[in-house]
Amino acid sequence: MRGLRPVAVLSLSVVAFAAAIAVERKEKEEEALERRVDQIFAAYDKPDSPGCALGVIRDGNFVYKKGYGAASLELGVALTPASVFYMGSVSKQFTAASVVLAAEQGFLSLDDDIRKYVPEIPSYGKPITLRKMLHHTSGFRDILSLFFLAGRNSEDIHPTNELLDLLSRQKALNFTPGDEFLYSNTNYFLMSVVIRRATGKPLSQFAEENIFKPLGMTHSSFYDDRTVVLPGRVAAYAPRPGGGFRVDWSTNYDMVGGGGLMSSVDDLLRWDHNFYDNKLGKGTLLAEMQTQGVLNNGKQIEYALGLFISKYRGLPVVAHDGANFGYRTTLMRFPEQRFSVICLCNLATSNPLRLSYQVADLYLESQLVPDPAPASAAKVDPQPFAGWYRNLESHSAYQLSAADGDIVGLGTRFKPRDANHFVATPGAAIAFDRLQNGGIRATLTVEDSAPQVFVKFEPVKPSAEDLAQYAGEYTSSELQATYRFAVKDGKLTLATNWQEPSVLEPAVRDEFQSPVGVAMVFRRDAPGHVTGCDLFAGRVRNIFFTRVAK
């Protein structure tokens, strides 16, 4: 037996050596992977540029986290995973969680009518439940869009009573509650009002007591007091024409519910972990938050409660992103892989959703379904599809162009999948088909929204005499705003309050588009005189302006 001892020692040495080699190989693979991640963020990884803070999570722990770029160009402070960002619409999942927890505590029901708590909201003939609002199927016009369309500066302070007054003047919904999904910040702003009135506590206090403190999120809060000092707070920026950056954030903006959360990569690790091991409430939170909405026609939508639930390259993914001022944020979770990406940026032109998918592509490479190979550009001629397209319901219009075999538009390049289908990564696609009348129809699908149908059209070219028919003042009682139309240099212009006059481009007869996507559709009486106009702006439909008599 004593003679076997050297053999045993040798065997253990071989095993230990093999284990050390395996560890070293794994470390090298991880280092190589981290270098590839760093390459994704290389454009931001410099001290004189805004950038991003990144967290990559597997099985409840960070496998990589890093800051790229500056948290403050003025102070020369670098971004880190502890930096505190304005989270934008990523806040909605925390607002939704607060509502669910308040329901567990008996303060409210998700199936209550909003007017039970906010009687200032007009009656539109059918109840609008909190649940429909949380799923964005309420039909409410978007409060941020209304504020902008009223000619107000979005950086102004937003007292709750002022916003409720604006909502109380809305004479109609965008659609019958439950008929459609249309994202609207009104839904979640009103949730903050509901929480305050149902529980007797502002959303900031309720979330602190029921979410942040129990989870140990010590650097997270709802920013509803513009005088509060926030250690580690990140500034935000946008590119300045000609080079460099300009400041793009506001300390005055303290509306919460749809946004307003301040948090960090480090804190969001704790929130992400709670989706696997819930520490909050009485046990209904995760099921409620991850139940997708259903329309009146029985169709299931991707939006749950503050979360989009979809698939990416074959894998289920739960995600939400946010954008306000120069802040851009994404929290993305692949639940079956227990893998998440947190990407928080302070530059208006950054795209953390796309960056997060690129990071996921690296770490989940072996589990993701490969993207189908694009069609050969030589076999596809996109030129016939180039031109202007218009949605007949929203009146929104977009220009698509052909470039190097691709379709370019909507801020995206779509590559050919076949002769009539073009795709962008991730999740966006355009399908073209020819109508019997010879026209072309384009159907745009985006991962987190319903398909939108556009018809190709040729813009009209009205004369200066034609444009003069629209000149004058128009007023809206819903917005308490006056719009002034004038003809200048052969173009129709629009001026509202503090905003600089903008040039309107003609689409079809009596219909014009603004540079920011607002459509003005003029009305005529029986003799053909222009009497008013209807305004359409994406998340706001059909606001009527009456022409002021000269």
**375 pLDDT higher than 60:** no
- What is the C-alpha to C-alpha distance for residues 489 and 63, in angstroms, rounded to an integer? 59
| Cα→Cα distances 415→358, 373, 383, Å | 18, 10, 13
**376 pLDDT higher than 60:** no
Supply the pLDDT for residue 3.
58
- What is the C-alpha to C-alpha distance for residues 271 and 508, in angstroms, rounded to an integer? 49
**12 pLDDT higher than 70:** no
DSSP 515: T
Mean pLDDT, range 273-288, rounded to an integer: 97
Supply the pLDDT for residue 421.
92
Least confident window among 245-249, 289-293, 433-437: 433-437
Of 550, 538, 549, 540, residue with least CA distance to 170: 540
Of 472, 394, 505, 319, residue with least CA distance to 145: 394
Q: Identify which has the larger pLDDT, 252 or 179.
A: 179
Q: Is the pTM of this model over 0.85?
A: yes
Residues 6+ apart with CB under 8 A from 390: 396, 397, 454, 455, 457, 507, 508
3-state helix, strand, coil in the chain (%, to 5): 30, 30, 45
Within 92-182, residue ranges assigned H as helices are 92-104, 130-134, 143-149, 160-168
Question: Strand 452-457 relative to strand 440-446: parallel, antiparallel, unpaired?
Answer: antiparallel
Residue 487 has φ and ψ, to the nearest 5°, of -105, 125
pLDDT in tens, 199-218: 999 999 999 999 999 999 99
Within 282-413, residue ranges assigned H as helices are 285-289, 352-363
CA 157 to chain centre: 22
**Percent of the chain residues past pLDDT 70, beyond the cut:** 93
Domains and CATH numbers, the chain: 85-363 (3.40.710.10), 377-457 (2.40.128), 464-547 (2.40.128.50)
Using pLDDT thresholds of 50, 70 and 90, give the confidence band for residue 377: very low
**354 pLDDT higher than 50:** yes
Decide if 141 contacts 540 (C-beta within 8 A): yes
Q: Identify which has the larger pLDDT, 120 or 30.
A: 120
Instruction: Please name the residue that has the structure tokens 């005189």.
Output: 529
Of 400, 453, 406, residue with least CA distance to 425: 406
Beta strands of 326-386 (E only): which ranges?
Answer: 327-334, 339-345
Strand partners, 387: 400
Q: And the tokens for 532? A: 């008013």
Across 360-389, b (16+ Cβ under 10 Å) vs e yields bbebbeeebeeeeeebeeeebebeebebbb
Q: And the tokens for 233? A: 């707070």
Supply the pLDDT for residue 224.
94
pLDDT in tens, 144-171: 999 999 988 777 777 899 999 999 999 9
Q: Is 112 exposed, middle or buried (0-12, 13-18, 19+ CB in 10 A)?
A: middle
Decide if 254 contacts 202 (C-beta within 8 A): no
Residue 127, preceding peptide bond in cis (omega within 30° of 0): no
Of 502, 534, 496, 532, residue with least CA distance to 516: 502
pLDDT in tens, 502-538: 999 999 999 999 998 899 999 999 999 999 999 999 8
Of 193, 212, 214, 213, residue with least CA distance to 202: 193
Q: How many CB atoms lie within 10 A of CB 190?
A: 28
Using pLDDT thresholds of 50, 70 and 90, give the confidence band for residue 197: very high
| Cα→Cα distances 270→18, 99, 108, 267, 397, Å | 36, 20, 27, 6, 43
Decide if 64 contacts 54 (C-beta within 8 A): yes
Decide if 102 contacts 198 (C-beta within 8 A): yes
Supply the pLDDT for residue 386.
96
Element (H, E) at 315: strand 315-324
| Cα→Cα distances 465→57, 90, 350, 403, 547, Å | 63, 49, 44, 36, 18
- What is the C-alpha to C-alpha distance for residues 179 and 190, in angstroms, rounded to an integer? 20
DSSP 294: B
DSSP 295: -
Please, what is the average pLDDT of the chain?
Answer: 93
**66 pLDDT higher than 60:** yes
pLDDT in tens, 81-114: 999 999 999 999 999 999 999 999 999 999 999 9
Inter-axis angle of helices 160-168 and 185-199, nearest 10: 120
Mean pLDDT, range 331-352, rounded to an integer: 98
Supply the pLDDT for residue 500.
81
Sign of CA dihedral 148, 154, 160, 161: negative
**466 pLDDT higher than 80:** yes
